[in-house]
């Protein structure tokens, strides 16, 4: 983030029902693999959306796709009714929101953090913004990058009812499924539970398909069998077939980020005396993949990492 000068902006006007008009201004901070698509989908609903990212190339991609982007965060959040943040980790989110964004916002502005962070960070955001009179919601994102592209994200929202009703139309512009989990902080806690299971399952898929490869089983038939029993899971049905098994390991969700998210779950579990044995092993497996150079690849590429550890050629669907 760049440093900001002091100052604040007046609260945005709302209609008689407390809902922002469709031409409200939205600042979108963080234009990564998912954030970029989400900002573009939000813009399609008629809001004025200005995207910001530290990386000039990310802003350039937004502009090339027809969006409005800036390399000056002031221009993105100045006068915004709602500010969305989609950033990589807890430290960056806390610094960006509390040190750089919040001092520039007027009372009753809403900040919506969609990042996957430590719940302690989310609680600190909620408390810090409340002291300034700024409203807050955590709304982390479920599903994968291709769902962000098509506007089919799932949101797990922690917010007071009035804040939830205000931001719900905006979330609906970026996704198809919205769960109001409770007050601030419940969204990120739900996300951590979701990612814990999803990432551990991805590692199990990698090991199972590596074993099938060693057995010499037909890949297509193996997938059909697994998807026809209780062994099936979302990765086998959605992500693996269009990513690693199709030869595409470009990151929709990086192994590095999956490793980080498992760490969040393990840290939260330890703080509350909840043993998470399977997750601990899965995180070490992801660390092996990272150490062998796969960290920047899609997390379905855990299959490639595991096959190579076993001395096997990673399986791929037959090309027509």
Task: State both tokens at 268.
Answer: 């939260």
Tell me how far apart the alpha carbons of residues 106 and 10 are, in angstroms, rounded to a whole number: 5
- Give which of 100, 82, 101, 99 is closest to 39, Cα–Cα: 82
How much is the CA Rg of the chain, to the nearest whole Å?
21
| The one catalytic residue among 191, 237, 260, 318 | 191
End-to-end CA distance of the chain: 47
Instruction: Tell me which DSSP letter residue 320 carries.
Output: -
Please say if 130 is a catalytic residue.
no
Spatial contact of 99 and 6, defined as CB atoms under 8 Å apart: no
Which of 253, 148, 139 lies closest to 190, judged by CA? 139
User: Token pair of 124, please?
Assistant: 């600190």
Task: Please give the distance of CA 76 from its chain centroid, rounded to a whole number.
Answer: 20
Instruction: Quickly count: other Cβ atoms within 10 Å of residue 248's Cβ.
Output: 13
Select from 26, 34, 30 the least CA-distant residue to 52: 30
Residues with a catalytic annotation lie at: 191
């Amino acid at each position: 983030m760049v440093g900001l000068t002091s100052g604040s902006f007046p609260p945005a006007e709302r209609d008689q029902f407390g809902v922002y008009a469709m031409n409200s201004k939205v600042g979108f901070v963080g234009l990564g693999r998912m954030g970029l698509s989400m900002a573009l989908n939000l813009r399609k609903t008629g809001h004025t959306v200005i995207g910001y990212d530290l990386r000039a190339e990310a802003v350039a991609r937004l502009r090339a796709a027809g969006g409005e982007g800036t390399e000056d965060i002031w221009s993105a959040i100045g006068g915004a009714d709602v500010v969305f943040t989609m950033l990589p980790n807890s430290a960056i989110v806390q610094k960006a929101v509390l040190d750089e964004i919040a001092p520039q916002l007027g009372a009753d502005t809403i900040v919506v953090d969609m990042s996957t962070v430590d719940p302690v960070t989310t609680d600190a955001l909620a408390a810090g913004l409340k002291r300034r009179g700024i409203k807050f919601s955590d709304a982390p994102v479920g599903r994968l990058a291709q769902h962000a592209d098509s506007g089919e994200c799932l949101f797990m929202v922690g917010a007071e009812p009035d804040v939830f009703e205000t931001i719900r139309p905006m979330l609906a512009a970026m996704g198809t499924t919205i769960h109001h989990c409770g007050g601030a902080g419940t969204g990120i806690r739900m996300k951590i539970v979701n990612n814990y299971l999803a990432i551990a399952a991805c590692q199990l898929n990698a090991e199972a398909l590596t074993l099938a490869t060693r057995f010499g089983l037909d890949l297509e038939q193996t997938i059909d069998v697994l998807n026809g029993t209780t062994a099936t899971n979302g990765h086998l049905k959605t992500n693996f077939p269009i990513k690693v098994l199709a030869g595409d390991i470009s990151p929709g969700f990086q192994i590095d980020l999956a490793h980080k998210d498992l760490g969040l779950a393990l840290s939260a579990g330890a703080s509350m005396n909840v043993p998470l044995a399977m997750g601990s092993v899965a995180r070490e497996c992801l660390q092996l993949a990272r150490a062998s150079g796969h960290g920047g690849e899609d997390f379905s590429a855990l299959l490639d990492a595991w096959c190579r550890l076993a001395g096997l050629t990673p399986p791929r669907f037959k090309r027509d």
